[in-house]
A and B are shown apart, each in its own frame.
Chain A
Amino acid sequence: MGKLSIKLIGIEFENPLILASGINDKVPEQWIRAHEEGAGGVVTKSIGIEPREGYDNPTIVELPYGLINAMGLPNPGWKGFLEMVEGYKFDFPLIVSIFGGTPEEFAFLAEKLSEVADAFELNLSCPHAKGYGMEIGQKPENVHEVVKAVKDATDKPVIAKLTPNIDDITKLGLAAERAGADAVSAINTLKAIAIDVYARRPILSNKVGGYSGPGVKPVALRAVYDLARTLEIPVIGIGGITTWQDAVEFLLAGASALQIGTAVSLRGWKVFREIAEGIERYLEEEGFSSVREIVGLALE
C-alpha cells in the first residue's frame, strides 16, 4: 500500500481524498474525471425515489469564505440512475448517496442500488429539502431507524452523513453506530441565509440553504474531533477542506478519510493533487511513513 492509501469500511482507497456529494457528480463521466484528477473515491449526488428537478435559480450564493447553496436535491430517481450507469465500470470506490423520507424509502433505495454501489452514504443532513435530509436526521431515533433499515436491506457498507445543525452531533453519531453503521461522515452544510440589501429579500429561491467552504471548517473540525473521541467506528471528515493543512488538521482530529466539495469549485479539480502532494510532503518531513499513522494524533 502507498503512503496515502487507506482501507476504510473494508474498501481500499488510493488516497483519503474523496469527492463529496453534490459537487460536480451528476453523471458517470464526472465521477471518472474526479478520479482522473486525483480523487481517491467519489460520492454521487444524492439519489431518491422519484426524479426531481431541484429548485429554480438562484440556487447558489458566493460569499467571501464559502458558498450557500439550495439545489433542492435534483436527481434522476433510482430508475434513471440505474439507466445512467449501465455499461460503466469504475476502477475506484463509488459511494452512492441516497435520500428518502422514511426508513423504508432509504432501505428500498439501498436494495435497488446495491449492485452499483461499493458503499452507501445516507443523506440525513441536507438542510434545505422539506421532508428529507436534516428534517429526518436531526433526531437520533430517526438516524437509528434509517441506518438499521438500510443495514437490513444491503450487505454493502453504510455511512451516515450527519448534520451539524443540532446541539450535540455525537448523539447522532452514537445513534448511527448503535444501529450498525460502518462509518459516519460529517459535516453536511450549516443551515444559512443570505439577503441582498438592494433587493431586500433572500437571494436563494428557497430562501434558506446550506453554508459550506472555508468558513465552516473550524465548526466541522470540532464536530469531527467530538465524533472521533466518542465513536468506535471511523469518521469521514467533511467541511471546508481547501488546503493540505486543512486536510492534516482533520486527520489529526481523528478523520480516517476526507471529503472535498466546495474547494473543487473554488480552486478547480487540481485541488485533489495539491492536497495529496501537501499531505505526502508533510508525512515525509515529519517522519511518518503513512497517512494512517497520523489519524487521531490530536485526540490523545
Chain B
Amino acid sequence: MYRVVEVVETWEVAKDVKAFRFSEKFDFTPGQFVMTWLPGVGEKPFSLAQRDLIVVKKVGPFTGALFRLKEGDRLWIRGPYGHGFERKGRKIALAGGGIGIPPLYAIATSWRKFFESISLFYGARSKEEITLIDIENYVDELILFTDDGSAGKKGFPTEALAERKGEFGQVYACGPEPMLKAVLKVMNHKNVQISAERYMKCGIGVCGSCNLGKYLVCRDGPVFEGEKLTGLL
C-alpha cells in the first residue's frame, strides 16, 4: 500500500531536472526504486537518491504534473523495491551518464565511510544537462565529460575509465544504455554492477513488462552484476 508523503523541498538541478525531497524517510539500499503515484495522473518508478529524495527529468505528462507540485503537496509512494547495489571494493569508481546520477548519489552519500576513495566518471550531452545534484561534495575525484566539450573534457567518461580501470576494486554504473554497454565492455563484465532500465509497470514481478532476457528489472534488478548480463547487454 502507499505511504502518503508531503513534498518538503524542491529545487532545480539542471535543465528540466528537479529534485523532490519528501516528508518521510524510507529504508533502502542504494539502487532500489520507489513507485510514485499521482492520483488521476499515473504512477512511475524512480530510483531513490536518498532516503527521502528523488531526482526527476521532465519527459511527459506524469513528470510534467510532478514538476507542478509545490511544498506541502502530497505524493503517494510504495516501495522501495528491487535488488540494489552490493557494497564491494575499497577504492571504487562510479560511472554515470546524463540523468543516471540518483543511484550513484545514493552510494556516495550513504556509503561514503565504507570506501577508501570514490572516483566519479560522469558524462552529459552539454553543460546545461549536467545533473550532478551536489555529488561532488561526496566523492574524492570528479572526471567530467560533455559530448560537445561545453564543460569538462570533450568525449565520453568510459574512455577515461578504460585507462584507469585497474585502480578500482568495483565499478558502479548508471546511465543511458549505450554507456552501460560501454562500461560492461571496458570492464569485461567483471568487478562491475550496473543499474539497468526497462519499461516497468507493476514494479513487483507480476506483469513481466520489464524483462531483460530472462530477468526482470524490477525484481532481479535494477542492479545487476556485470557477469549476469554477459550476452544480454
Contacts and interface: CB of A to CB of B under 8 A. Distances in A.
A58 B205 contact: no
B190 to A, nearest CB: 23
A23 B206 contact: yes
Interface residues of B, number: 27
A173 B78 CA distance: 39
A32 B213 CA distance: 10
A57 interface: yes
Nearest to A28: B214
A61 B1 contact: yes
A140 interface: no
Contact of A67 (B4, B39, B201, B206): B206
Contacts of A11: none
A199 B39 contact: yes
Residue with the highest number of chain B CB atoms closer than 10 Å, among A23, A32, A67, A265: A265
A32 B203 CA distance: 21
A59 interface: yes
A71 B44 CA distance: 15
A57 B204 contact: no
A34 to B, nearest CB: 9
B40 interface: yes
B154 interface: no
B208 A201 contact: no
B56 to A, nearest CB: 16
Given A24-B216, A201-B40, A265 B76 contact: no
Contact of A198 (B74, B209, B219): B74
A58 B204 contact: no
State the main secondary structure of chain A at its contact with B: loop
B43 interface: yes
Given A58-B37, A199-B76, A71 B207 contact: yes
Kindly name the residue among B76, B204, B205, B208 whose own CB sees the greatest number of chain A CB atoms within 10 A.
B208
Chain A, interface residues (CB within 8 Å), range: 35 or more
A25 B208 contact: yes
B214 A33 contact: yes
A216 to B, nearest CB: 15
Given A199-B39, A268-B219, A23 B208 contact: yes
Given A57-B44, A58-B37, A199-B76, A265 B204 contact: yes
Contacts of B2: 196, 203
Given A56-B42, A57-B44, A62-B1, A45 B201 contact: no
Given A57-B201, A62-B1, A196-B2, A201 B39 contact: yes
A262 B205 CA distance: 9
B211 interface: yes
B202 interface: yes
Contact of B211 (A23, A26, A264, A268): A26
Contacts of A74: 207, 209
Interface of A: 22-27, 29-30, 32-33, 36, 45, 54, 56-63, 67, 69, 71, 74, 196, 198-199, 201, 203, 205, 262, 264-265, 268
29 contacts: A22-B206, A23-B208, A24-B208, A25-B208, A27-B208, A27-B211, A29-B211, A29-B214, A36-B214, A54-B207, A57-B37, A57-B44, A59-B207, A60-B203, A60-B206, A60-B207, A61-B1, A67-B206, A69-B206, A69-B207, A71-B207, A74-B207, A196-B39, A201-B39, A203-B37, A205-B42, A264-B205, A265-B206, A268-B219
